[in-house]
Structure formats: C-alpha cells, structure tokens
Copies of this chain bind each other. A is one copy, B any other.
C-alpha cells in the first residue's frame, strides 16, 4: 500500500491535452498554445510541458514545426485510435475497481443501467 501517488505532472498534462484533442476542443491540424503560454497558464516549468509534448509527438498525435509550434495531427485515424485507447484505459480501470468490490460482469451492467436511469430522471 503506497499513498501520495506522485502522479507526475507531465503525465497529468499529457492526459489533459489528449482529452482536449479527442473531445475536439483542439481540432485536427490546429496549433497548440506555445510551450511558454502553456507553461504560464498551467503554472508549470517549460521543461515539464516539453516532456509532455515530446511523448505525444512520438505517438504521432502532435507534429512539431520548427519556429511555428506544435500542431495536432490531421490524421483522423490517429486521433480515433487515441480515443479508443483512452476509453480502453478507462474501461480497465473501471472493471478492476468494480470487480474488486465483488461485482460480477452482470452486476456491473445492471448497476450501471440503473445508475443511468436514475441520472436521466434527475436531469430530465
């Protein structure tokens, strides 16, 4: 058992930017804010930003153009795969958590549909 998970900031930033991209808050081909702008707005060191961006360029999600900035890939397939990956990660996490609570697959689906029904009632 270990606490104080120091989930590294650059990973958090990476996760955040990926979410922005798959939810189309930043569109394919669009330019990201400059590294310095990001550093300021997220109050983080420039190096931390660069570390987050570099792994995303490695994955082909971003393209760096010297002197111009970082751009979201225009390759929609890449973005679609990213989305699937994020969903997959989330599913893993969910499944692990709920089964550790002793729920069977059927129980999970049942609880979830009940939850959605209730949610629907509350909001509409």
Chain A contacts to B: CB under 8 angstroms: 1, 3-5, 7, 9, 12-13, 16, 19, 22-24, 41-42, 44, 83, 86-88, 90-92, 94-95, 97-98, 100-103, 105, 108-109, 111-113, 115-116, 119-120
Contacts and interface: CB of A to CB of B under 8 A. Distances in A.
A61 to B, nearest CB: 15
B101 A19 contact: yes
A23 B90 CA distance: 22
B109 A23 contact: no
Contacts of A115: 88, 91-92, 95
How many of these chains are in the complex? 4
Contacts of A94: 90, 94, 112
Given A42-B1, A109-B113, A100 B9 contact: no
Contacts of A108: 112, 116
A108 B19 CA distance: 17
Given A94-B90, A94-B94, A3 B44 contact: yes
Contacts of A7: 5
A113 B106 CA distance: 9
